Amino acid sequence: MSQHEDDLAFAGAARQAAFMREKRLSPVELVTAYLDRIERLDKTLRAFITVCGERALSEAKRAEAEAAAGQWRGPLHGIPFAVKDQLDTAGILTTSGSALLRDNVPPEDSTVVARLKSAGGILIGKLNLTEFALGGTIRFPYGQPRNPWHPDHDPGGSSSGSGIAAAAALCSVTLGEDTGGSVRSPASYCGAVGLRPTWGRVSRHGCFPAAWSMDQVGPLTRTVEDAALVLGVIAGHDPSDPTTSRSAVPDYRAALAAGVKGKRIGVITELVDGADTQAEVRGAVREAARGLATLGATVEDISLPLISHSGGVFMALCDSEAAGRHKPWLATRASEYDTGTRRRLLAAGLIPAAALHQAARARSLIREQILGALAKLDLLLAPTSPHPAPAIAFHTAPVTSKEEAGRRFFGRRSYTTPASLAGVPAISVPCGFTRNNLPIGLQIIGRPLGESAVLGAAGAWERAAGLSMRPPSHQ
Amino acid sequence: MADLGPDDIRRLAASLALPLEGDDSTEIAHRLNAFLDALASLSTLPLDRVEPWPTTPEGAA
- Provide the percentage of residues in chain A whose pLDDT is more than 90: 94
A200 and B35 in contact by Cβ < 8 A?
A: no
For B57, the closest of A199, A339, A399 (CB atoms) is A199
Q: Are A378 and A264 in contact (CB under 8 A)?
A: yes
Residues of A in contact with B58 (CB under 8 A): 200, 245-247, 448-449
Residue B52 falls within a domain, yes or no? Answer: no
Residue B20 falls within a domain, yes or no? Answer: yes
For A346, the closest of B28, B43, B48 (CB atoms) is B28
DSSP alpha helices (H): ranges in A256-309? 269-272, 279-294
The one-character DSSP state at A89 is B
Q: Residue A1: its pLDDT value, please? A: 56
Q: Of B7, B35, B47, which to mutate for an interface test with A (greatest number of A Cβ within 10 Å)?
A: B35
Residues of B in contact with A410 (CB under 8 A): 34, 38
Angle (CA) A156-A157-A159 rounded to 5° is 115
| Distance set, CA A53 to CA A82, A126, B17 (Å) | 12, 11, 44
Distance CA A302, CA A372 (A): 11
A200 and B43 in contact by Cβ < 8 A?
A: no
Residue B51 falls within a domain, yes or no? Answer: no
Residue B28 falls within a domain, yes or no? Answer: yes
Number of domains in chain B: 1
Residues of B in contact with A247 (CB under 8 A): 57-58
Angle at which helix A451-465 crosses helix A224-234, to 10 degrees, equals 160
Find the domain containing B20 and state its range.
Answer: 1-34
Closest residue in chain A to residue B32, using alpha carbons only: A347
Q: Residue A39: its pLDDT value, please? A: 97
For the stretch B2-35, pLDDT in tens is 899 999 999 999 999 999 998 899 999 999 999 9
Ranges of residues in chain A with a pLDDT under 50 are: 474-475
CA nearest neighbour of A111 among A93, A85, A96, A90: A90
Closest approach of chain B CAs to the CA of A341, in angstroms? 11
Burial class (CB in 10 A: 0-12, 13-18, 19+), A463: middle
SS3 A69: coil
Do you find a cis peptide bond into A158, omega within 30 degrees of 0? yes
pTM: 0.97
Q: Residue A100: its pLDDT value, please? A: 98
For the stretch A12-36, pLDDT in tens is 999 999 999 999 999 999 999 999 9
CA nearest neighbour of A359 among B35, B60, B1, B25: B35
Residue B8 falls within a domain, yes or no? Answer: yes
A449 and B54 in contact by Cβ < 8 A?
A: no
In our burial notation (b when 16+ CB lie closer than 10 A, e otherwise), range A411-443 reads: bbbbbbbbbbbbbbbbbbbbbbbbeeebbbbbb
Assess whether A158 carries a catalytic annotation: yes
Q: Residue A66: its pLDDT value, please? A: 97
Burial class (CB in 10 A: 0-12, 13-18, 19+), A474: exposed
Active-site annotation holder among A98, A158, A185, A188 = A158
Distance CA A264, CA B34 (A): 37
Residue B58 falls within a domain, yes or no? Answer: no
Residue B7 falls within a domain, yes or no? Answer: yes
Overall size of chain B counted in residues: 61
Distance CA B56, CA A170 (A): 35
Which residues are bridge partners to A135 per DSSP?
A: none
B52 and A357 in contact by Cβ < 8 A?
A: yes
A351 and B35 in contact by Cβ < 8 A?
A: yes
Q: Which domains does chain A have, with CATH numbers?
A: 3-465 (3.90.1300.10)
Burial class (CB in 10 A: 0-12, 13-18, 19+), A214: buried
Q: Residue A395: its pLDDT value, please? A: 80
A200 and B57 in contact by Cβ < 8 A?
A: yes
Q: Residue A259: its pLDDT value, please? A: 94
For B41, residues 6+ apart whose C-beta sits below 8 A from its C-beta are A309, A312
For B53, the closest of A331, A351, A364 (CB atoms) is A364
Q: Are A147 and A185 in contact (CB under 8 A)?
A: no
Please give the sequence-ordered ranges of beta strands (E in DSSP) within A201-316, or none if there are none. Answer: 216-221, 264-268, 298-302
Query: Which positions in chain B have a beta carbon within 8 angstroms of at least one beta carbon in chain A?
Result: 3, 9, 12-13, 16-21, 24, 27-43, 45-58, 60-61
B32 and A312 in contact by Cβ < 8 A?
A: no
The one-character DSSP state at A471 is P
Closest residue in chain A to residue B41, using alpha carbons only: A309
Residue B59 falls within a domain, yes or no? Answer: no
Distance CA A178, CA A195 (A): 9
